[in-house]
Structure 1
Amino acid sequence: MVLMNEKTDDIILAFESSADETSAAVVKNGNTILSNVVATQIASHQRFGGIVPEVASRHHLEWINRVTEEALTKAGINDPERQLSAVAATYGPGLVGSLLVGLMAGKTFAMVHHLPFIAVNHLAGHISAANFVKATVYPALAIMVSGGHTELLWMEKENTFQIIGTTLDDAAGEAFDKVGRILGLKYPAGKEIQEMAGHGKAVIKFPIAHTEDDFDFSFSGLKSSVLNYVHHHEQVSEEFNRNDVAASFQKAVVEAITEKSRLAIEKFQPKQLLLGGGVAANLALRTAVENLSKEYKIELTEAPIKLSGDNAAMIGAAAYLNYKQRLFAPLDLNVDPSLNFARM
């Protein structure tokens, strides 16, 4: 058996199952993907208009062994004890039943193959996806925008995260899906709203919430405004352009995120901006943040679009930061569905 400190590379097997994607990946040195297998459940949840936790859990159980075997095969891992340095899994936040599947898979694999186990915060995974593009320069400001979270995070140094702004109600991705239902779109609605916005004009003035804390977000009022606009026109049988609604809604979301980010940049003076999370795949948001980075002459690293959604490679990238600090977790660790970072 090759001792851990004799390895020239640190290779981690990672699991992600916090919502409706079952994923396993093998990541080298926190910045190179050897394999990343994702089994999605979108088709199973579309008819319900969102994720059904019990359905998600059952699908994870069906897929977890298959994605693990495929990830190991693609990465050329045939002797885990010799070739792997550690095993990692998401332990929160997310759906309880879904989290349990990936966490138990990770802990079991680690125990059987006598490898250290690393517990990863799902949100840290989204941010760490940027490491596949280039190494982060600190201090950094991370703009994390996903289906369940919208946060501004201050990273004073590597593997430290402090919340400086968060949503007080709906997350941006959640707002996209709810507006999608209002417009009669299938779940998830983010990509289709983006496509509709490209054919429309942002001519409708939807509100951008002003919160008590300069850096916090609120999207529930925006969603309600879209609902009222659509219902009013439908009730009086007045035609309206759905593409214009999509464009105007998207513009309001993007402006809310960029304006709060602007305030944070001016106060904290980061050396680098990071953009991650499922909604970070939105091209209008990416363009706006790119313009913001140019305006303030701050380097920007965006998570690759193909890694913006939930996947195990990003968990492997985040796990590597813990691995370097030897931050290993006990095998009796449980899931934490409400896990988050501390507020600054």
Structure 2
Amino acid sequence: MSLPTFSGRVVLGIETSCDETAVALVRDDRRVLAAPLVSQIAEHAPYGGVVPELAARAHVERLDLLIAQAMREAQLDFGDLAGVAASAGPGLIGGLIVGLLTGKAIAAVHGLPLIAVNHLEAHALTPRLTDGVAFPYLLLLVSGGHCQLLEVEGVGRYRRLGTTIDDAVGEAFDKVAKMLGLGYPGGPMVEKAAKGGDPARFTLPRPLLGQPGCNFSLSGLKTAMRTLILKLGAQALEPQTLADLCAGFQAAVGDVLVDRTRRAMALLERRHGRLPVLVVAGGVAANRAIGGRLAALAAEAGTSLAVPPPRLCTDNGVMVAWAGIERLALGLVDGLDAPARARWPLDAAAEPALGAGGKGHKA
């Protein structure tokens, strides 16, 4: 399927699924007219993770102001919009309700179509905005609450190839950062601390490496890190040891992601007779070391890699607005009774994973 035909239509995107309050106005020629965002890192940092009640309250306080700011920046009125798209799940239910109800109110008052967006689909479709990637493609979705491999066949058409049977990659990064006292958010902290570290100094497990299937498991690696840190005691916080621990953990995660993704690529090559484009999306996609590993994998396999810029890997309103544009182009709109959903898998027909299945804050 090609990209939507340019008609000058503008969609308002609203993202409140976790700890970013984000709004965007995007035109269907892929031009971003405005994209204000307020992060809540400072509010949640003292707790070492996202506190749902604080997140929802912050969305209430900031969302209306951000929408007004976006409309001013783009010099548009609500009557100029073609539709309103809001994240409806999965995520923290309190925050989702804030954003979705705001979107419903704007749609109802101004007679606009409402698009209740699956937050995961917004991540999945972002490379079509940034790189013009055509269907089908292989998606590695890695974030604080999700770790999945999906075949993206079209808008609303996803086939899950593998998922985490316990923890998400981003959650594992956050927990390791907390163990080492690096602060929140953990992913960027661990990546920064890993620079100059020796990834081979400590022996760490690579769960499911070389095993059949495309599922992931991170809990064993996380537990091994905890055991090692407790064994090292105060030595773990010495600068070089800290760097080596983070480098070793990051390398282990990279090995697992590469191994599982390689298996998914082989599966799709057998199915279609060719290798699809590899797309990496979600907050962990901003990690340069892991991104480099996956770029090398794509080059080795003879296919291309598409990764959105870092600002569009983490949660943002642009991806929600673009998903709204894609769905609106196909006539896929929702009623004002569309529910907010804490859980909303992209491939509803897929069998549940063994174990807890991704225990991150967006699971």
TM-score if structure 1 supplies the norm length? 0.94
1:212-264 deviations in Å (ceiling 9; x for gaps): 75101011110000000010111899977010000000011111111100011
**Residue 302 of structure 2: aligned partner:** 297
Q: Map residues 1-344 of structure 1 onto 2, 5 A cutoff.
A: 8-29=7-28, 31-78=30-77, 80-81=78-79, 83-203=80-200, 204-210=202-208, 214-234=213-233, 241-269=241-269, 270-342=275-347, 343=350
Q: 1:158 to 1:118 in 2, by over 3 A?
A: closer
Partner Cα separation in structure 1 for residue 37 and residue 29 of structure 2 = 18
Runs of at least 4 residues off by over 6 Å:
235-240
Match of 1:199, SS state, is coil
CA contact (8 A) 1:118 1:328 kept: yes
Q: Offset at 1:57?
A: 0.7
CA contact (8 A) 2:28 2:325 kept: yes
Moved more, 155-164 or 234-243: 234-243
Q: 1:200 to 1:73 in 2, by over 3 A?
A: same
Counterpart code for 2:267: K
Q: 1:237 to 1:180 in 2, by over 3 A?
A: closer
Partner Cα separation in structure 2 for residue 339 and residue 185 of structure 1 = 32
Q: Offset at 1:138?
A: 2.3
Partner Cα separation in structure 2 for residue 291 and residue 28 of structure 1 = 34
TM-score if structure 2 supplies the norm length? 0.89
Partner Cα separation in structure 2 for residue 175 and residue 41 of structure 1 = 20
Partner Cα separation in structure 2 for residue 213 and residue 23 of structure 1 = 39
Counterpart code for 2:339: N
CA contact (8 A) 2:166 2:217 kept: yes
Q: Offset at 1:30?
A: 6.5
1:157-195 deviations in Å (ceiling 9; x for gaps): 344222111111110000000000111111111111111
Aligned residues: 336
Moved more, 93-102 or 263-272: 263-272
Partner Cα separation in structure 2 for residue 13 and residue 213 of structure 1 = 43
Q: Offset at 1:32?
A: 2.2
**Residue 4 of structure 1: aligned partner:** none
Q: 1:237 to 1:317 in 2, by over 3 A?
A: closer
Q: Offset at 1:53?
A: 0.6
Q: Offset at 1:327?
A: 0.7
Counterpart code for 2:180: L
Partner Cα separation in structure 1 for residue 135 and residue 52 of structure 2 = 37
Partner Cα separation in structure 2 for residue 233 and residue 75 of structure 1 = 54
Partner Cα separation in structure 2 for residue 45 and residue 340 of structure 1 = 26
CA contact (8 A) 1:30 1:131 kept: no
Q: Offset at 1:131?
A: 2.3
Q: Any gaps of 5 or more consecutive residues in structure 2? A: 1-5, 270-274, 352-363
1:294-319 deviations in Å (ceiling 9; x for gaps): 11111221111111111110111111
Moved more, 157-166 or 110-119: 157-166
Moved more, 160-169 or 223-232: 160-169
Partner Cα separation in structure 2 for residue 136 and residue 157 of structure 1 = 11
1:74-119 deviations in Å (ceiling 9; x for gaps): 12212x22x2111000000000101000001111111111000001
Counterpart code for 1:333: A
Q: Over aligned residues, Cα RMSD in angstroms?
A: 1.8
Percent identity of equivalent pairs: 35
1:2-37 deviations in Å (ceiling 9; x for gaps): xxxxx9312100100000111110011172211111
Partner Cα separation in structure 1 for residue 7 and residue 63 of structure 2 = 29
